[in-house]
Amino acid sequence: MPKLKTLKPMVRTIKGMIAMPKRDQHRDAAQPWRAWYKTARWQKLRMQVLIRDRFTCKMEGCGKVDIDTSQLVADHREPHRGDARLFWDAKNLQCLCKPCHDSLKQKQEIAGRSNGKGGHDGL
pLDDT at 110 over 80: no
For 17-68, write each residue's pLDDT tens digit: 555 566 666 666 778 899 999 999 999 999 999 999 999 999 999 999 999 9
Measured between its terminal Cα atoms, the distance across the chain in Å is: 44
pLDDT over threshold 80, residue 123: no
Cα separations in angstroms, 95 against 18, 34, 39, 64, 71: 28, 19, 19, 10, 10
